[in-house]
Amino acid sequence: MDLVSEQSEKQVVSREEADAIYNQPFMDLLFQAHTVHRTNFDPNQVQRSKLLSIKTGGCAEDCAYCSQSARNGSTLSASKLMEVEKVLSEARKAKESGASRYCMGAAWRSPKDRDMEVLEAMVQGVKDMGMETCMTLGMLEDDQVHRLKSAGLDYYNHNIDTSERYYSEIITTRTFADRISTLNRVREAGIKVCAGGIVGMGEQQMDRVDMLLSLASLDEHPDSVPINMLIPIENTPMADVQKLDPIEFVRTIALARILMPRSHVRLSAGRTDMSDELQAMCFFAGANSIFVGDTLLTADNPGEDKDALLFDKLGISAMALGCDGKK
C-alpha cells in the first residue's frame, strides 16, 4: 500500500488514507513503516535522551493520567524548582552515560517570570556542555519563548496528549487549541518542536489516528514525536484503565513514522512493562529515540544497563553527540 510517499517532503494525508494505513495487514504495515524509516534514517541507530524533573508536583492542571497534578487525587508532594548547579551536575552524569539530549521538565501550567532567569541559566549550562537542550514547562508567552531561545534552547516539548475529540475527557483546565497555540509560538521563534501523546488512556482507535494526523498537519512536522504508553498511577482517575493491546501500540508507532518520515519517533513512557521483543518491533516500525535512566519524571524507566543489553542484542548503537541519524 503506497498511500504515503517515502520521500522526505511533507505529505497531505486524509483521514481515510490514515485509517487505511493503520488498519492494513500488520506485516504490510510493518514493511511500509520500516521502508520509510530506512529511507530517512540509519535503522540501527537510536537517539538517547535524559529527562529530569526540575520541579515536581503541585501542578494546577487536572490531567487525569498525571501523578503531578494537585487536582486529580494524586498524593505526590510538591517540590521547589531545583538549583541550577544540581541540574547541571545531573546533566554531566547524563552526558557521561551517553545521552546526547538533555530534557528538563517542570510541573507547571506555565512558568512565572520570576523563574525565567534560573531556567535560562539551566539551558545555557547544558548547552555549554555540548548537549542538545530541551524543556517542557507548560504553556508559554511570547516573551518567555524568546528568552528561552536566546538562552540556547534547542527543543521545546509540549505534547498534545490525545485527539481533539477525546481531549476534554482527559484535561479540562486547558484546551486542545491552547496546546496547538503554544506549539506554533515555539516554532515561529525558531525552537524545534517536540510533541507527541499518550496512548492507552481509554481512547478509541480513531483518537490515536487523529492525534497523529494533528501532529502531521502542523506547518512543520515536529522534530521529535514521543509516543507514551500510559503508566497507570495509583489514586489518579486512570489508575484502572484497561491496558492497550501491544499490537495497537506498534501500529501507532508505525503510523507516526509513515506520516512524519523525518521526525524522531521516541519510544517514551511505559518501556518498563514492554518486553525486549515488543521494543524491538517498535524500533523496526520506526521508533528511533528513547529516554535513558532509571526514572522518567516520576515514573520508572528501564535502567541504562538493561538498555545497553537490549542494544547489544539488537545490534543497535546510540546516536553520537551532534548526530541525528538522518540520511
**Could you tell me the three cell numbers for 299?**
515514573
**What's this model's pTM, rounded to 2 decimal places?**
0.91
pLDDT in tens, 229-273: 998 888 888 888 999 999 999 999 999 999 999 999 999 988 989
Q: Among 101, 103, 179, 187, which one carries the catalytic annotation?
A: 103
User: What is the phi/psi pair of residue 292, to 5°?
Assistant: -110, 160
pLDDT in tens, 2-28: 444 444 456 778 999 999 999 999 999
- Nearest by Cα to 147 from 109, 128, 119, 125: 119
**What is the structure's pLDDT at 6?**
41
**What is the structure's pLDDT at 5?**
42
The verdict on whether 103 is a catalytic residue reads: yes
**What is the structure's pLDDT at 289?**
94
Q: Among 48, 66, 147, 271, which one carries the catalytic annotation?
A: 66
Tell me which of 19-28, 92-101, 213-222, 242-251 is least confident.
92-101
pLDDT in tens, 30-79: 999 999 999 999 999 999 888 899 988 768 788 888 877 766 655 666 67
Q: Among 59, 174, 179, 185, which one carries the catalytic annotation?
A: 59
The verdict on whether 66 is a catalytic residue reads: yes
Q: Among 48, 63, 187, 208, which one carries the catalytic annotation?
A: 63
Q: Among 48, 101, 134, 251, which one carries the catalytic annotation?
A: 134
* Cα–Cα distance for residue pair 244/278, rounded to 1 Å: 13
* Cα–Cα distance for residue pair 268/161, rounded to 1 Å: 13
The verdict on whether 63 is a catalytic residue reads: yes
The verdict on whether 323 is a catalytic residue reads: no
User: What is the phi/psi pair of residue 69, to 5°?
Assistant: -70, 140
Q: Among 147, 174, 185, 266, which one carries the catalytic annotation?
A: 266
Q: Among 194, 251, 262, 282, which one carries the catalytic annotation?
A: 194
pLDDT in tens, 198-207: 999 999 999 9
Q: Given the C-alpha cell 483518537, which residue does it identify?
A: 207
Q: What is the mean pLDDT of the chain?
A: 89
